[in-house]
Amino acid sequence: MDLLIVNHRDIYHPQAGGAEEVLKEVATRLVSKGNRVTWFSESVKNRPSKEEYEGILLKRRGGRASVHIFSLKEAKKHEVVLDSIAHAVPFFSYLVNAKSIALVHHVHQDVVKYELGYLSREAVRFLERQIKRYNYVIAVSETTKKDLHDKLHIDESKVKVIYNGVDHLKFKPGEKDKEPTVLWIGRLKRYKNPFDIFEIKRRMKTRAKFVVVGSGDLSQQFAEESRKQDVLYLGRVDEKEKVSLYQRAWAILSTSFIEGWGMTIVEANSCGTPAVVYNTGSLPEVVQEGVNGFVVGYKDFDSAAKALDYLMEEKNMKVMSRKSYEESLKYDWDKTALCYHKYINEILG
């Protein structure tokens, strides 16, 4: 198999995040099976136009917009193409390669209202709807598959659901903090609703330490408010510290408007940390009520606070910590990569 992956960023991009983690975990495993994998993305400052990472050939050219043009030339050269559509606008590889697959993390039709002005929003919505022109589509959850059908009018028969995995050797249970601790981790964007943290914290009856990790458009504003609200804001942290935070937390909180796949939730569960999430996007698909966490209504601050209060009682936390870890065992990158390998080979015939 000669596979080309097209994505805005690669693992060395300073803004690399969840989408890049998915591609890295899948691509390295495909390489280990003897496949040739090339990853094409936009240029990264102080990185060469070509380099190798664990058997993957990384190729870079262009910026956020022009990478869409340069990637088409590259897509002609490969047997099969995986367009990772992490930012709504597809790469249109199907125009030059019939065996092109759209990998959709989540549908942005509603999210863009949080981030863009009217004209930009409508342009992005129109371009995202062109995903329906791909012959093959991978969705990371059943929720995303449903959104592809309901919002982009894509025939469900050409959508394959492949769940993301988790690295259980890296994300594993550890020692909990002595004091009740709530962790929030993610990009500080409007649709992630980071300021909901303060509303929920105010309503809690239990005194708990709140720790927030991540960066983004709202970083400066959030940092200022966090100092007033007695919330520890750490900004970006390295992988070792991230794992440690997952392990030490008594609960992880998600306030996002939408998630195509709750990667931070599964990683936290794998570290023995239960979650409290809104009933939006795929999160109710990932969180089983009373097993690995609790699902509350969107912006239902009172219910979120009540759920966190329950988890801040040590005996409750310990029971759900064990259940959370057990639930996370359903997800594994080896299983995920095997599904990609089988599906791509089916396309190649």
Residue 17: the pLDDT is 85
Element holding 345 (H helix, E strand): helix 333-348
Question: For the chain, where do the domains classified as CATH 3.40.50.2000 start and end?
Answer: 2-165+332-348, 181-328
| CATH architecture classification, 2-165+332-348 | 3-Layer(aba) Sandwich (3.40)
Q: What is the DSSP string of 108-126?
A: -TTTHHHHS-HHHHHHHHH
Measured CA to CA in angstroms, residue 170 lies from 201, 216, 288 at distances of 30, 25, 23
At the topology level of CATH, where does 181-328 sit? Rossmann fold (3.40.50)
How many other C-beta atoms are found inside a 10 Å radius of the C-beta of residue 315?
Answer: 7
pLDDT > 90? residue 338: yes
How large is the average pLDDT for residues 200-218? 97
Q: Rounded to whole angstroms, how far apart are CA atoms 121 and 115?
A: 8
Closest among 135, 141, 191, 190 to 158, alpha carbons compared: 135
| pLDDT per position as a tens digit, 317-326 | 999 999 999 9
pLDDT > 90? residue 115: no
Q: Which two tokens stand for residue 318?
A: 């310990």
Residue 56: the pLDDT is 98
Q: Rounded to whole angstroms, how far apart are CA atoms 143 and 147?
A: 6
Residue 18: the pLDDT is 87
* Site of tokens 């929003």: 121
| pLDDT per position as a tens digit, 35-62 | 999 999 999 999 999 999 999 999 999 9
Q: Indicate the pTM of the whole model.
A: 0.92
pLDDT confidence bin for 114, thresholds 50/70/90: confident
Residue 113: the pLDDT is 86
Residue 139: the pLDDT is 97
Whole-number percent of the chain with pLDDT over 90: 95
| pLDDT per position as a tens digit, 239-248 | 999 999 999 9
**Amino acid letter, residue 16:** A
* Mean pLDDT estimate for the chain: 96
Closest among 180, 216, 177, 168 to 195, alpha carbons compared: 216
